Amino acid sequence: MQETKRDWETFVRSPAQLEEGVPIPLVLVDLTPGPRKYSLRHAVVVIDRRQDALPGADVLWVRTPVGVKLSTPYAMRIVRELPSELPGVGYRDAFEALRVAANG
Protein backbone atom coordinates (compact mmCIF):
# COMPACT_ATOMS: atom_id res chain seq x y z
CA MET A 1 0.00 0.00 0.00
CA GLN A 2 1.37 3.40 -0.99
CA GLU A 3 1.86 5.97 1.77
CA THR A 4 -0.11 9.20 1.34
CA LYS A 5 1.64 12.53 0.93
CA ARG A 6 1.40 14.64 4.05
CA ASP A 7 1.14 18.42 4.33
CA TRP A 8 3.42 20.17 6.82
CA GLU A 9 4.04 23.74 7.90
CA THR A 10 7.05 25.45 9.46
CA PHE A 11 8.01 28.94 10.58
CA VAL A 12 11.41 30.44 9.72
CA ARG A 13 13.06 33.74 10.57
CA SER A 14 14.43 34.13 7.06
CA PRO A 15 14.14 32.28 3.74
CA ALA A 16 17.95 32.03 3.90
CA GLN A 17 17.41 29.26 6.50
CA LEU A 18 15.88 27.11 3.77
CA GLU A 19 18.91 25.54 2.13
CA GLU A 20 17.80 23.19 -0.60
CA GLY A 21 19.27 19.72 -1.00
CA VAL A 22 21.02 19.60 2.39
CA PRO A 23 19.70 18.33 5.73
CA ILE A 24 18.29 21.16 7.87
CA PRO A 25 16.53 21.02 11.26
CA LEU A 26 12.96 22.33 11.41
CA VAL A 27 9.95 22.34 13.70
CA LEU A 28 7.10 20.84 11.68
CA VAL A 29 3.34 21.18 12.17
CA ASP A 30 1.28 18.38 10.62
CA LEU A 31 -1.52 19.84 8.45
CA THR A 32 -2.79 16.50 7.15
CA PRO A 33 -6.47 15.98 8.08
CA GLY A 34 -7.01 13.38 10.77
CA PRO A 35 -6.31 12.74 14.45
CA ARG A 36 -2.70 13.98 14.25
CA LYS A 37 -3.50 17.30 12.59
CA TYR A 38 -1.58 20.18 14.23
CA SER A 39 0.80 17.86 16.08
CA LEU A 40 4.38 19.14 16.31
CA ARG A 41 7.50 17.28 15.29
CA HIS A 42 11.18 18.21 15.40
CA ALA A 43 13.04 16.73 12.43
CA VAL A 44 15.98 17.01 10.09
CA VAL A 45 14.63 17.37 6.56
CA VAL A 46 15.74 17.86 2.96
CA ILE A 47 13.71 20.33 0.90
CA ASP A 48 13.49 21.50 -2.71
CA ARG A 49 11.36 24.14 -4.42
CA ARG A 50 10.69 21.75 -7.31
CA GLN A 51 7.95 19.31 -6.30
CA ASP A 52 9.31 16.65 -8.69
CA ALA A 53 12.87 16.85 -7.31
CA LEU A 54 12.12 14.52 -4.39
CA PRO A 55 9.84 11.72 -5.66
CA GLY A 56 7.17 10.79 -3.13
CA ALA A 57 8.06 13.79 -0.96
CA ASP A 58 5.64 15.52 1.38
CA VAL A 59 4.51 19.14 0.95
CA LEU A 60 6.03 21.84 3.18
CA TRP A 61 4.38 25.24 3.57
CA VAL A 62 6.57 27.97 5.02
CA ARG A 63 5.53 30.97 7.10
CA THR A 64 7.46 34.02 8.29
CA PRO A 65 7.73 34.78 12.04
CA VAL A 66 4.57 36.91 11.83
CA GLY A 67 2.62 34.19 10.01
CA VAL A 68 2.77 35.32 6.38
CA LYS A 69 2.56 32.20 4.21
CA LEU A 70 5.03 32.00 1.31
CA SER A 71 3.27 31.67 -2.04
CA THR A 72 4.62 28.28 -3.10
CA PRO A 73 5.33 25.15 -1.06
CA TYR A 74 8.50 23.07 -1.00
CA ALA A 75 8.91 19.34 -1.52
CA MET A 76 10.19 17.82 1.74
CA ARG A 77 11.53 14.49 2.92
CA ILE A 78 12.14 13.75 6.61
CA VAL A 79 15.67 12.41 7.04
CA ARG A 80 15.44 11.73 10.77
CA GLU A 81 13.35 12.57 13.80
CA LEU A 82 14.70 14.68 16.66
CA PRO A 83 13.59 14.43 20.31
CA SER A 84 10.28 16.08 21.12
CA GLU A 85 11.93 17.85 24.05
CA LEU A 86 15.11 19.79 23.32
CA PRO A 87 17.64 20.90 25.93
CA GLY A 88 17.88 24.63 26.51
CA VAL A 89 16.50 27.55 28.45
CA GLY A 90 12.78 28.22 28.12
CA TYR A 91 11.75 31.32 26.16
CA ARG A 92 15.16 31.59 24.56
CA ASP A 93 16.25 30.71 21.05
CA ALA A 94 14.33 27.61 19.95
CA PHE A 95 16.07 27.68 16.56
CA GLU A 96 19.48 27.37 18.26
CA ALA A 97 18.29 24.45 20.42
CA LEU A 98 16.99 22.72 17.28
CA ARG A 99 20.32 23.25 15.48
CA VAL A 100 22.27 21.80 18.43
CA ALA A 101 19.99 18.75 18.60
CA ALA A 102 20.40 18.13 14.87
CA ASN A 103 24.19 18.20 15.07
CA GLY A 104 24.40 15.74 17.76
**What residue spans define the domains of the chain?**
7-83
Q: Tell me the C-alpha distance between 99 and 2, whole Å.
A: 32
Per-residue pLDDT tens over the stretch 6-30: 999 999 988 888 999 999 999 999 9
Task: Give residue 14's pLDDT.
Answer: 87
Per-residue pLDDT tens over the stretch 55-82: 989 999 999 989 999 999 999 999 999 9
Task: Give residue 90's pLDDT.
Answer: 67
pTM summary value: 0.82
Helix (DSSP H) and strand (DSSP E) numbers for the chain:
1, 5
Task: Give residue 60's pLDDT.
Answer: 97
Q: Tell me the C-alpha distance between 2 and 11, whole Å.
A: 29
Q: Tell me the C-alpha distance between 70 and 68, whole Å.
A: 6
Task: Give residue 7's pLDDT.
Answer: 96
